Amino acid sequence: MNALFLCWSIPFGPGRRILELSLPLSSYFALRLSDLLSDSLLLNNDAFERNVNTIYQGFSVPISLALSSEELNKLKERILQSNLRRVQSKTIYEDLRVSDGDIQLIVYKSGKVVHNDSDDSKGLLNGILTEDTAFDYLVGTDEVGKGEWYGPLVVACVALTPKQVIHMRELGVRDSKEIERGRLMKLAEEIARESFKKDVLTVMPEKYNQLYKELRMEGKSLNDLLAWAHASTIRSVLDELGEHRIKILIDKFDVKKTDLRLLTTAHVSDKTPNLKIIQTPSGDTEIPVSVASILAKSEFEDRVAGLQRKYNVHLGAKPDAVSREILPYVAKTHFRNVATVIGESLGD
């Protein structure tokens, strides 16, 4: 019989105790697993999510999406009008829970909705999500790898129409930091098959180290490299879009340097006709930025896996586990823990 297996490890003293559950396949148990993941996120319990490893066999992974207050009210009204069977909430974070035939759905007080990805559940949500029609395209960028001592720097840019934004939300795209790794990789595969305009720029460690040293010699910093990479991918995507109403969303890191690079590299600014540029610290909550982040994370992991195979090393632990001769080809040498192993001066 098909089954859902949920395993997680619990730190206990000097060792680890392993708790394993084997549950029958059903939408209910799939939804309960999503409860565990969602509740851990609401509680900011990062350790729980990191240790959860899920293996799904024979059914779709539950979908989680965030709704605006307007969309949430429309959904509640539709549930009431449809006379769907509501059941008792399981946690204090839930607003309401529906269990009616193939429709298994939870509405959280935070505005998050989790459903079992059945046709009936998707039909219930059909028409609820609202399109932003003020622009023809919403462009988002994000980077991955700037905080890891190993692997490349990856910057991705995507351009979505309002309808494509809705489709991404229906797939379960949201802030990538809130998506469990296995689900994120599956989303990356689905997104890669979509036909929207995108560009991914990957700076491998050897080239990254060369560029970083050149920037430092010019009195510049990592933010200058990031600004150039973001602007380059934006320019590449804009070249494919032509004349349209476009909103560009960037996860803010250095407004002045980003504005300068947008002007000199992407040849755009806030004064460009039919173009709006928004740099926001909450960029990850914007769907185009989230899509870019997911693509960048997938590319980063693929490249790291390739480096590990090529040099027969394990990356992600500590730099001193890698030989000094190999580190410049797999790591960012300006990181203090890497520089210590290599014996280089940081020069910062």
Statement to judge: residues 94 and 162 lie in one domain: no
Sequential DSSP letters for 101-161: TTEEEEEETTSEEEE---HHHHHHHTTTSPP-TT-SEEEEEEEESTT-SBS-EEEEEEEE-
For the record, the structure tokens of 340 come out as 């210590």
CATH number reported for the structural domain that contains residue 94 in this entry: 3.30.310.10
202 and 289, same domain (yes or no)? yes
335 in any annotated domain? no
- Does 314 map to a domain? no
Domain presence at residue 312: no
Are residue 98 and residue 236 in the same domain, yes or no?
A: no
CATH code, domain with 244: 3.30.420.10
284 and 152 inside one domain? yes
CA 145 – CA 154 distance, rounded (Å): 6
From CA 26, how far away is CA 84, in angstroms rounded? 19
Question: What's the number of domains the chain is made of?
Answer: 2
Q: How much is the pLDDT for 49?
A: 36
- Run of H or E residues at 203: strand 197-203
pLDDT at 343: 83
Against a cut of 0.75, is the pTM above it? yes
Cα Rg, the chain, nearest whole Å: 22
| Pair 43, 152 in one domain | no
Q: Estimate to the nearest angstrom the gap between the alpha carbon of 234 and the chain centroid.
A: 18
In whole angstroms, give the CA distance from residue 6 to residue 22. Answer: 7
Q: Kindly give the pairing relationship between strand 275-280 and strand 246-251.
A: parallel
How many other C-beta atoms can be found within 10 angstroms of the C-beta atom of residue 202? 20
Q: Is residue 182 part of a domain?
A: yes
Question: Which residue type, as a one-letter code, is found at position 50?
Answer: R
Within a domain: 341: no
First-to-last CA distance in the chain?
Answer: 59
Domain limits at 101? 3-125
78 and 225 both lie in a single domain: no
Same domain, 114 and 188: no
Q: Could you tell me the two tokens for 127?
A: 């028409």
**Tokens found for residue 192:** 């890669």
Q: Is 83 helix (H, G, I), strand (E, B) or coil?
A: coil
Domain boundary among 303, 321, 342: 303
pLDDT per residue over 55-108, tens digit each? 333 345 688 888 889 999 999 999 999 999 999 999 999 999 999 999 999 999
Residues 128-169 have pLDDT tens digits of 988 888 999 999 999 999 999 999 999 999 999 999 999 999
- Residue 325 in any domain: the answer is no
Task: Dig out the tokens for 341 from the structure.
Answer: 């192993």
15 and 38, same structural domain?
yes
94 vs 92: CA distance, rounded Å: 6
Residue 237 lies in a domain: yes
Same domain, 246 and 180: yes
Q: What is the pLDDT of residue 344?
A: 63
pLDDT at res. 60 = 55
Other residues' Cβ atoms within 10 Å of the Cβ of residue 40: 18
Give yes or no: residues 112 and 75 share one domain: yes
Residues of the chain short of pLDDT 70, as ranges, are 1-61, 344-348
Is 80 contained in some domain? yes
Q: Which of 125, 155, 178 is the last residue of a domain?
A: 125
Is 243 found in the same domain as 116? no
Are residues 268 and 288 part of one domain? yes
State the Cα angle at 187 between 159 and 29, rounded to 5°: 145
